[in-house]
Each structure stands twice: as structure tokens, then as C-alpha cells.
Amino acid sequence: MIETKAQLEDAIAQFETLRQEVGRVIVGQGEVVEQLLWCVVAGGHALLEGIPGLGKTMLVRTVADALDLRFSRIQFTPDLMPADITGTQLVEFGPQGQTSYRFQPGPIFGNLILADEINRATPKTQSALLEAMQERTVTAGGQTHLLPAPFFVLATQNPVEQEGTYPLPEAQLDRFLLKINVTYPTPEELKEIVRRTTSPSLSQAQTIADANLLLKLQGYAKEVLVSDEVLDLAVRVLMATHPTEAGAPEAIVRYVRYGSGPRGIQSIISIAKVKALLEGRLHVSWSDVRSVAIPALRHRLVLGYEGQAAGVSPDELALAAIDAVEATR
């Protein structure tokens, strides 16, 4: 609960210091860093997609260092089993030969979980994350174990190399609040990356805040107001991604097989609230919705055969839905 304006301003100032500290270690990628931090403050999970070598893993570790969070890295491989993620029941023998069972927690029991190259694991192993991501619990041996708070899964995947990978099913993609595209650095950024990585000492983020700040900001964000007008516009954007909806853009009708489900609008509003809060506003505007809609929807649009053959970008389709709504405001 926001008790005083001074408390809110102090929390926002701490977050800005956090953003600057991450930027001190990570070269460029300002939009990526911003979207990732939005996701963390919103209490959701993010999927980072980009070719190898763009610093996805380093970015996640830097955020964990700056927030003083318990960090776990899980390297997804084809032979990774669900118990390697969630944990397993161990049999213990007492002095009189009696047996007992003890749950040994897996690496999922952390605050910030890096699921590295998540699409390299089999669907059975990928599904082990579903309960953890949605319910914040793990069930093993008939018992349910709570995960620590805050809890985030930040997953990475390589969009180029598809051999030996298992594409994430729509049900799991839908659990990610945002899909963040990590782009190639500019020539100047490449030069700065070389300077930093070939110098005698590597930069490392200093601890700026802790879990308490995140939990506080998450509570503040939930109090940000959304007017019926803005909420109606956001819903119209979501509905415009459905090819069967009256008034859907031509590109959506032609290339999209299924539009976004209800989690799409939940993601848009959750992230829009965070964006408004971090800009010192306690209300969501249409510009907030427009800014966050593409990363919230790009992984929730299922392309038809024609869209896949034409190589249509989900970003273009999400933008078409946004523009269609804006044109009729």
C-alpha cells in the first residue's frame, strides 16, 4: 500500500539506480534491460530470444547481482529430467533400519531462475516448469512445496539453430509475461564490448536493492489505476488479434490462426501499470498500453500455414492490431 508520496518517490529512485547499475555492466540493449526490469517488477516471467553471444545470460546474472537475489542457472539439455529441476525424494535409513523420505530441493528453489536454452529440453522436462511458473509451487512425492518469493523464471532460446530443439508449446509460452527480442549491437557497442571483455578486470554489478524493494514495488504497481476507457482500448487490441473477430485487420485474418488468450490482456495491463508507476504516475494511459503490447503479444499469436510460409513477423501483426484500434479511437 502506498502510504506517502515520499515512499513512492524513494522506491522509484532506487529502481532508477538499479537500472543505471545494470546499464553500467551491460553495453547497450537499453530497451531489453527496461523490458526485463518491467517484467521483474510485475512479478512475471520473461523469455529472451536472440542469437548466441548477445549477453542474455550475463544480463540475467547482472540483474540478480544488483538485486541481491538467490540465483540459479539451469542449463537445458535433451537428457535433463524433471527431477533435475524440481528436486527429488531421498530415502534415508535410520539406526534401526527404519526408512524415511526427505525432499531434496532442486535448482528451481531460488528467486531468479535462468532457464538457459530452454528449447533444448524435451517437452516432458519443459512441462516441469509449468506448475512452478503458474502456481509458484512444486509437487513431489504427494507433497506441495512453496517456492520462495519473489520468484522469476527468465528463459533464453536461440531462434537460429533448430536442430535438436523442441519448440515450446503454446501453453508454456503463454506463461511468460513478455517475450523480449535481444537484438544485435551497433558497431560502437561492439567496440565497447571488446574493450570491457578484454580488459584486466570485468565489470560486475554492485548490490543496489533487495527482494524487499521488489515486493514493495509489486504492491505499488497493483494500486495503479486503469480507467474503463483505457481498459476497453486494451481489450480491443487483444480482440483484434483474433482472425474471426469483426473488424480484425486484413493481415490478422490472412496470417493468424489463433489470437491471444486472456493472459495477453493480463500481461498488457500488468506491464502498463509498472511502466506508469516507474514514470511517477498512478494511472495507465493509452501510450503505456501501446508501448507494452507488442512484447506482451508477440509470443501469443499462432500463425497459420500462409503466415509461416511468408515469414510474417508476429511484431508486425501485433502492430497491425494496435494501429487498427488507434485508428478508431
pLDDT tens, 140-198?
777 788 888 888 888 888 877 666 677 787 878 888 999 998 888 888 888 887 887 77
Average pLDDT over residues 18-26: 81
Domains, the chain, ordered by start: 1-223 (3.40.50.300), 224-329 (1.10.8.80)
Q: Is the pLDDT of residue 315 over 80?
A: yes
> Of 253 and 53, which is predicted with more confidence?
253
Q: How many CB atoms lie within 10 A of CB 56?
A: 26
**62-90: pLDDT as tens digits:** 888 888 888 888 888 888 888 888 888 77
Name the band, by pLDDT with cuts 50, 70 and 90, for residue 232.
very high
pLDDT at 164 (0 to 100): 62
Q: What is the pTM of this model?
A: 0.87
**Cis bond before residue 150 (omega within 30° of 0):** yes
Name the band, by pLDDT with cuts 50, 70 and 90, for residue 266.
very high
Q: Is the pLDDT of residue 56 over 90?
A: no
Write out the DSSP string of 28-97.
S-HHHHHHHHHHHHHT--EEEE--TTSSHHHHHHHHHHHHT--EEEEE--TT--HHHHHEEEEEEE-TTS
Name the band, by pLDDT with cuts 50, 70 and 90, for residue 221.
confident
pLDDT at 188 (0 to 100): 86
> Of 5 and 256, which is predicted with more confidence?
256
pLDDT at 255 (0 to 100): 92
pLDDT at 163 (0 to 100): 63
pLDDT at 68 (0 to 100): 80
168 alpha-carbon distance from chain centroid:
14
Nearest by Cα to 113 from 196, 206, 47, 182: 47
Q: Give the chain's radius of gyration (CA, Å).
A: 21
Q: Is the pLDDT of residue 2 over 70?
A: no
pLDDT at 100 (0 to 100): 74
Q: Which amino acid is at 133?
A: M
pLDDT at 254 (0 to 100): 92
**109-133: pLDDT as tens digits:** 888 888 888 888 888 888 878 778 8
Q: Which residues pair with 212 in a beta bridge?
A: none
Across 28-32, 158-162, 244-248, the highest mean pLDDT is recorded for: 244-248
pLDDT at 162 (0 to 100): 64
Q: Say which residues have a Cβ less than 8 Å from residue 13's Cβ, sequence separation at least 6.
A: none
pLDDT at 123 (0 to 100): 84
